[in-house]
Structure 1
Amino acid sequence: MIKKILLLVCIAFSSIAMVAQTTVTGTVKDANTGDLLPGANIKISNKAVGTTTDFDGEFVLKVSETPPFTIEVSMLGYKTEKIEITKNNQKVEANLTENETSLDEIVVSASRTPERIMESPVTVERMDARAIKNTTAPSFYDGLENLKGVDVNANSLTFKSVNTRGFATFANTRFMQLVDGMDNSSPALNFAIGNLLGMSELDVNTVELLPGASSALYGANAFNGIMFMTSRSPFNDQGISFSYKYGITSQDAAGDNNFHDVSIRMAYAFSEKFAAKATLSYLKGTEWFATDYRNTRNGEYAVGDRSVNDYDGLNVYGDEVAVDLGGAVGRVSRTGYEERDLMKDYEAKSVKLNTALHYRPFGDDRLELIFNSKFGVGNTIYQGANRYNIRDFYLAQQKLELRGKNFFVRGYVTTEDAGNSYDSRFAAININRRWKSDQDWFTQYAGTYLVTGSHVAARAAADTGRLIPGTPAYQAAFDEVTADPSLVTGSRFQDQTKLYHSDVNYNFQELIDWAEFQIGGSYRLYSLNSNGSIFTDFDGPIDYDEYGVYTQMQKKFLEDDRLKFTASVRYDKAQNFDGNFSPRVSLAYAAGENKNDNFRASFQKGFRNPTTQDQYIGLDAGAAILVGSAPDNLDRYTSSPLNVSTAGQPFVGGPTTTLSGRLAYENSFSATSVQNGTPTASNSPLVKPEEVTAFELGYRGLVTAGESRITIDLSGYYNIYNDFISGKNVLVPFYGTVGDNSLSLLALQNGDFKAFQTYTNTTADITSYGASIGLNTKVLNGFDLGVNYTYAKFDFDQASDPDFEAGFNTPEHKVKLQFGHTNLFENFGFNINARWQNEFLWESTFLDATVDARTVIDAQINYTIPSLKSVIKLGGANLTGQEYFSAPGVGAIGSQYYLSWTINN
């Protein structure tokens, strides 16, 4: 089907022409310098008909329209000029004024209606095609890290997680990403795909990012922030564009490796009514090797290296299997395998195809029907409770959308397939068990130690027959284990989960003139289908749904509409939970002669529904069994514990060999209390939505100091959280009732228990607060200078809930600097970005540890070749070569150098 669409597009490109009746000619110049501007866009207002200026800044526009009509002349970085055409063969001269600041940029995300970023009622960060051209990062998605208040955490080379205002994880379920209105998240694994299978850089129109709660308009999961990526319309941006990027990644552990990034975009308006586009991207490289072999225990770094008998290396897997052999032997762990031996070739790959058909029945933008189809497949590494090799991961989205000036109706379906993905930890555990069972291995170890008194000799004896990486026997076992979906014997993920989503929005601006009213709603249906390998869906897919409705009123007051009042409220209901109301109220006041001093204040509530995994997971992750707390999930998960001690006695209500998810919530000890020697009941209530109450003050304005014009963006926020969702570790005894002070305590003493992770809410009081300031100006006769600072902090009383880990995972201080010039001399520009952040604590199910402070410097130079419609860019990321970790357990991030050639973009 895709090949047929592309073939039709290519044939149409070469065969369709328009009949012209009116000719308009002219030139486009820079109003300040008088320089001719090649590549400026000229189009009829509200139509897709248009052309661009040539290398001499001249254009010829032939259209079927008869005068009078209006044309719009625009170019990135300049203000749009409208010119009235009153006769045929009219000659015009357009003089475009450069936007010296970003205050006149138009954003849509803050209020679901176009408005100057200056007048936005909440904080907005923005990136457009001009910023993408100037970014120093290897990709536009990496370049988001240079925006004020934005954190980007790198799982791997191709999988990066965007976050704002704290509580970051690699899954980052508190932050939403929308690509052309579609949720860019895995419906089963719950992580935002990032740009692994997202948007091609050639097709990016704008990126808008709202830090903080946005549930009042966007519903569940727009909790910490939301990012909107919009693509270019084939009506407005036509032609064929091509980009090729070649580079090298350099890391001590992995050495120097090549990467290639190729993209092509084709777009054409066949007529005023019909247009189409197709974008294809391919990226291939080598992941950052994860080689942190420090010993760990109880989720933290521990004393001892590989020579200790109970070694559990961070990026060594299989050594989590450990037994206390008692006496002089002590606790012993099996010999594990390094991650580099479990990730095949560490190949990073991404293939993306995006096609879209656009139909305008009236020949203008009053009404447009869009069918969008996206397909992607890729390899990457994801870090959650374990490290997962995501191989041949497939995601497809199909969207049908009808939109007009005042409304849109859209529906889309997301389909994913985990492909050949697998859990590296279970791959190591079950490779070990294929050549020797745990019982045999530990028996041989203990027997040899009792004879020799040497741990070295005991390990060597127990490792007799061990499969060695690189040998055919190891490879055969590896292939079998990674193809086996049972975590008892294998490590493969199975997943064919689907998500169905629909949205509707209507703006009454043409019916009501005293204020602007909007209404809207959404509906979402999950269909979980992992065949029991992730969720408790062993007997068929699990379906559940959620919906929401909202309304917003916006009214301007005072002279020149200087005061803008916005009020929104949304109601959301999920199948397993009570409904939630999310209100937002904001005021924005524009002061100054040109309304260039904007003060804003807002109050809003946000919420987040528990994820699919919070509700329906049923997964033995080795160190603990993860069981979701949806009411209908508690009895769906059962397991049979091994090695119940001979001293154990059956507990009332079932045999000693069966555990269920219900026991984790109703008959378990708090793990922390057991570690402290005072075992107490865990009392884990079933999970429910979490809520945040957010207050924000801000100022965005233009300050003139002599001949300098400085753009200032300042904001501060304070958040109060209720029912914060958390995972808690509990211990379920194989017999006895928790609180009986006899059998259950005997089970702990005999080691007859199993660790579970439950999904619940903390009762602890949690608050977070912070501020950011950004300054942008021009210095030294045209050089761009920008600097921003972000402060982020949170408070909570650990003693009130010892088992709770907040996972704030955000540095308290961040400073970012930008310096460059888009046209230092003819056709030549450059840009430099520097980022510094202090050390901070990272908490996760993988490991709790401190992330060191770091300073990162990126830079690029670019040269435009007008005769070839090309831009050549040479750049590098982390130029100092000082490797750093974005979180414990991931590969150290080294340097990345690239050379790119972009044509006709």
Structure 2
Amino acid sequence: LGFRIINTRGFANTTNVRFTQLVDGVDNQAPHIGAPIGNAMGPSDLDIEHVEIIPGTASALYGLNAINGLANFITKNPFTSTGITVQQKTGVNHVNDAETSAKLFSETSLRIAEKLSNRFAFKLNGTLTKGYDWIADDRTDLNATANTAVGIAGGVNNPGYDPTSGYGNESSDRKTVTLGGKQYVVARTGYYEKEVTDYHLQNIKADLGLVYKVNNQSTLTYTYRFADIDNIYQRSNRFALKNYILQQHALEFKNPIFQVRTYLTTENTGKSYNLRSAAENEDRSFKSDDVWYKDFTTGFNRALAVSGTSAQQALIAGRQFADQGRLQPGTAAFTDRLNALANVNNWDIGSALRVNDQMFHVEGQVDISKAISKDFRQSTGFDFLAGFDHRDYIIDPDGNYFVNPNPAKGNAAFTYGKTGGFLQVGKDLLDNTLRLTATLRADRNDYFNLKFNPRFTAVYSPIEEQNFRVSFQSGYRFPSIFEAFSNVNSGGVKRIGGLRILSNGVLENSYLKSSIDAFQAAVKNDFNTQGISTSAAIVKEKGLLVKNYYDYIKPEHINSFEIGYKSLFLDHNLKVDLDFYYNKYDNFIAQVEMSTPNTSNPDSVAIRLNDKNLQSRYRVWTNSRSTVYNYGGSFGLTYRLFNQFTFAGNASYAKLQRTDNNDGLEDGFNTPQWITNVSFGGDHVYKSFGFNVSYKHQSSYYSQTFLVNGTVKAYGNVDLQVNYNLVKQLNLKVGASNLLNNYYYSYLGGPLVGGLYYTTLTYSL
């Protein structure tokens, strides 16, 4: 509810590191994530002038990582948009929600802007958002086939039950146990997400802008942004963000010939915590795994000894016996332990997320043509543009999430930087109806060699109202600091960055978890169905084990080809816009799980890998060996009727064409094949009355993330808004998002989303 994620061109996820989000040209990402947390530090609705969306690769001009697209929020100018504006949005959600009663939603915004003189103006914005977030409570069993060999299907009766929105029963919380002559996969009981978090949200954001006109053409601008976030956020795990603070200072000098911009973003995760680790360690804090499984076995055997007791009943009795004394949700003891775990910065025994880091950025751009002469382009048809940028991430190691890669420096801060620049040449031809542009960008990273990004575009405009465009470009994405330097202990699995300095020695001596899982399942099946001893089954099935073949992390790469057409018809009342793209991706940055057997004896490797306690388990950032091809396009129409009504419709199509060298490690496409939108609205239809109604539909799609895989069902939503100017300075809006209150999943692992019904009052002085 508190975050909205923008995505274009596929491979979507809730973090979306391939899509860049700017505010007035300034990157507003959370540094350690490498992507923004929705619009948490972005502008308020009152201060947005317009939003520029650039779908597709934009790396050549905007730098690496914008390989799937870019959004730039342009804010209002305090010299021209002055005054005081207050907005109050009050709504209700969770209507007819099986999980909870209806809840209030409130968003209060203030904008103050004033031109103090012909040279100086300022603006101040603030927004407070409070509500009750949507609840994630999907009970689908992610480990449904674990015990089919002993006749037990997935679901709540599965002793290895792993509900999607439950934690503490994942692979690291399961064990193969021999009971009654059979081998069962048994998971710790764990807790549901709603039992280990509070869905109340409170997000605060504010910004201050000071603008000074040095002269009629030169402007100096200072901007400060602040965000304090209390919300649920999903990455590879789900997190409760508490007192999560983002701050940004930006300074820009700009005139028609050149501009220089620098900014510093700081991040402090406050009292945030990992929901999975909270559930795991809440369960383990009352009883260790060794003791719990021993008690489970005792309870099973006691129950089975009673005449007439089935194995299924004995499994239930074993869990009840082992869970005696378990902390119960809602009790003071449970809450106290949960709070204590949230202050332990080690996910093997606690759940705290403690990250302090900074991102420093400086960039410049010069219009060489205008620097030569103001009429250079008009007289020659050429224009030249050049730019540079440098970025440093400054990471303060916490000893768990990040460590200094140089052990000799202990917990001293370390940096991760990159430098780049570009040169662009444009030429007008055919009486200025054809424009050709060529751009070459070069970037290097502290740990990677120079990478070149070329871009070629052609725009043909036979008349002013019509243009055809074609482009080819390539782009790279360097690993984020988490992908490069992470060092996290989590439930017995160590997550490590993909740089050699972090993962040296692990990749060379590990076996892939996918093969270990297949090996262990085969051993268990042989024991259960063929009566083979475990030791004999290990020898029989050890050929299933696969040595790791992945390498140290490298930058992602994309080649993209696009064509498009845009035109105005019928006295500019009809707008037509269409485009088509074809992309090739390679070296997808992804995670792979692997284990090193705790032995130097090659004859003992298989024995060690059949027991999770005899191996060291890792989740390592690396690159997929797959090459992925996808294509798609969009078609949009906007028609203005009687200069009062607007009808609009668009459809986008996205298709994953094929994958070469498929290793299953590439990111999920996670994109509906079809998304369609239709809207109809009117301005001042009757006096000061206006309205807009829209319908969105998206097809089902297969979602593949590290948290959960599965199909996201198709859904359609109706949104409605009516507005009325009560007086000149006071506007009332009444509306609904998801008017029909059809609950749906927008992504797996997340919550069911229903309708939000609201009124908005905006008063301007």
TM-score of the superposed pair, with normalisation by structure 2: 0.90
**Correspondence for 2:640:** 778
**Correspondence for 2:416:** 544
Q: Which runs of 5+ in 1 are unaligned?
A: 1-156, 635-661
1:820 to 681, 698, 708: 681
Structure 2 distance, partners of 1:468, 1:857, is 41
**Correspondence for 2:178:** 326
What is the correspondence of 1:89-488 to structure 2 with a 5 Å cutoff? 157-250=1-94, 251-297=97-143, 303-320=153-170, 321-328=173-180, 330-344=184-198, 346-362=199-215, 364=216, 366-453=217-304, 454-488=314-348
Cα displacement string for residues 714-753 of structure 1 (whole angstroms, at most 9, x for unaligned residues) = 100111123222222223222247xx5x222222234433
Amino acid in the other structure paired with 1:811: P
Task: For residue 307 of structure 1, report the CA deviation from its aligned partner.
Answer: 2.5
Structure 1 distance, partners of 2:703, 2:278, is 26
Amino acid in the other structure paired with 2:363: D
1:749 to 600, 610, 621: 610
SS of residue paired to 2:178? coil
Cα displacement string for residues 758-797 of structure 1 (whole angstroms, at most 9, x for unaligned residues) = 2222232211111111011134774211111111012333
Cα displacement string for residues 188-243 of structure 1 (whole angstroms, at most 9, x for unaligned residues) = 12331221222111111121010000111011111100110121121111111111
Cα displacement string for residues 284-339 of structure 1 (whole angstroms, at most 9, x for unaligned residues) = 00110111112112999994222222111111112232221214362221221111
Structure 1 distance, partners of 2:630, 2:548, is 27
The answer to whether 1:503 aligns with 2:359 is no
The answer to whether 1:626 aligns with 2:477 is no
Structure 2 distance, partners of 1:368, 1:178, is 20
Task: For residue 348 of structure 1, report the CA deviation from its aligned partner.
Answer: 1.3
Structure 2 distance, partners of 1:734, 1:582, is 44
SS of residue paired to 1:282? strand
Contact 1:254–1:288, Cα closer than 8 Å, also in 2: no
Structure 1 distance, partners of 2:719, 2:319, is 47
Structure 2 distance, partners of 1:206, 1:257, is 31
**Correspondence for 2:566:** 700
Contact 2:424–2:439, Cα closer than 8 Å, also in 1: yes
SS of residue paired to 2:281? helix
SS of residue paired to 2:300? helix
The answer to whether 1:734 aligns with 2:577 is no
Contact 2:581–2:633, Cα closer than 8 Å, also in 1: yes
Contact 1:494–1:530, Cα closer than 8 Å, also in 2: no
Structure 2 distance, partners of 1:754, 1:160, is 38
SS of residue paired to 1:467? coil
SS of residue paired to 1:160? coil
**Correspondence for 1:107:** none
**Correspondence for 2:574:** 710
Cα displacement string for residues 860-879 of structure 1 (whole angstroms, at most 9, x for unaligned residues) = 00002343x12110000111
Amino acid in the other structure paired with 1:695: F
Structure 2 distance, partners of 1:361, 1:857, is 49
**Correspondence for 2:510:** 668
Amino acid in the other structure paired with 1:395: L
Contact 1:587–1:600, Cα closer than 8 Å, also in 2: yes
Closer, same or farther in 2 for the Cα pair 1:844/1:380, shift >3 Å? Answer: same
Closer, same or farther in 2 for the Cα pair 1:298/1:229, shift >3 Å? Answer: farther
Contact 2:737–2:756, Cα closer than 8 Å, also in 1: yes
The answer to whether 1:901 aligns with 2:747 is no
Task: For residue 160 of structure 1, report the CA deviation from its aligned partner.
Answer: 2.3
1:765 to 618, 622, 627: 627
Contact 2:346–2:489, Cα closer than 8 Å, also in 1: no
2:484 to 599, 606, 615: 615
Give the number of aligned pairs: 709
Task: For residue 894 of structure 1, report the CA deviation from its aligned partner.
Answer: 0.6
Contact 1:805–1:843, Cα closer than 8 Å, also in 2: no
Contact 1:819–1:832, Cα closer than 8 Å, also in 2: yes
Task: For residue 274 of structure 1, report the CA deviation from its aligned partner.
Answer: 1.1
The answer to whether 1:874 aligns with 2:730 is no
Amino acid in the other structure paired with 2:754: G
Contact 1:248–1:256, Cα closer than 8 Å, also in 2: yes
Task: For residue 280 of structure 1, report the CA deviation from its aligned partner.
Answer: 1.1
Amino acid in the other structure paired with 2:615: F
| Deviation >4 Å, runs of 4+ | 298-303
Contact 1:300–1:848, Cα closer than 8 Å, also in 2: no
**Correspondence for 2:522:** none
1:519 to 373, 377, 386: 386
Closer, same or farther in 2 for the Cα pair 1:604/1:623, shift >3 Å? Answer: farther
Contact 1:407–1:507, Cα closer than 8 Å, also in 2: yes
Deviates more, 1:802-811 or 1:579-588: 802-811
The answer to whether 1:854 aligns with 2:715 is yes
Structure 2 distance, partners of 1:427, 1:192, is 25
Contact 2:495–2:618, Cα closer than 8 Å, also in 1: yes
SS of residue paired to 1:899? strand
SS of residue paired to 1:340? helix
Structure 1 distance, partners of 2:754, 2:246, is 29
Cα displacement string for residues 148-205 of structure 1 (whole angstroms, at most 9, x for unaligned residues) = xxxxxxxxx1122211000111111100001122211111123312212221111111
Closer, same or farther in 2 for the Cα pair 1:736/1:297, shift >3 Å? Answer: farther
SS of residue paired to 2:610? helix
Closer, same or farther in 2 for the Cα pair 1:723/1:802, shift >3 Å? Answer: closer
SS of residue paired to 1:163? coil
Task: For residue 672 of structure 1, report the CA deviation from its aligned partner.
Answer: 2.8
SS of residue paired to 2:223? strand
**Correspondence for 1:789:** 651
SS of residue paired to 1:469? coil
Closer, same or farther in 2 for the Cα pair 1:804/1:850, shift >3 Å? Answer: same
Contact 2:588–2:666, Cα closer than 8 Å, also in 1: no
Structure 2 distance, partners of 1:393, 1:178, is 20
Contact 1:295–1:301, Cα closer than 8 Å, also in 2: no
Contact 2:144–2:161, Cα closer than 8 Å, also in 1: no
Cα displacement string for residues 130-150 of structure 1 (whole angstroms, at most 9, x for unaligned residues) = xxxxxxxxxxxxxxxxxxxxx
Cα displacement string for residues 681-721 of structure 1 (whole angstroms, at most 9, x for unaligned residues) = 111111111111111111000233xx894211010011112
SS of residue paired to 2:356? coil
**Correspondence for 1:109:** none
The answer to whether 1:555 aligns with 2:411 is no
Identity fraction in percent: 30
Structure 2 distance, partners of 1:168, 1:374, is 27
Structure 2 distance, partners of 1:585, 1:483, is 52
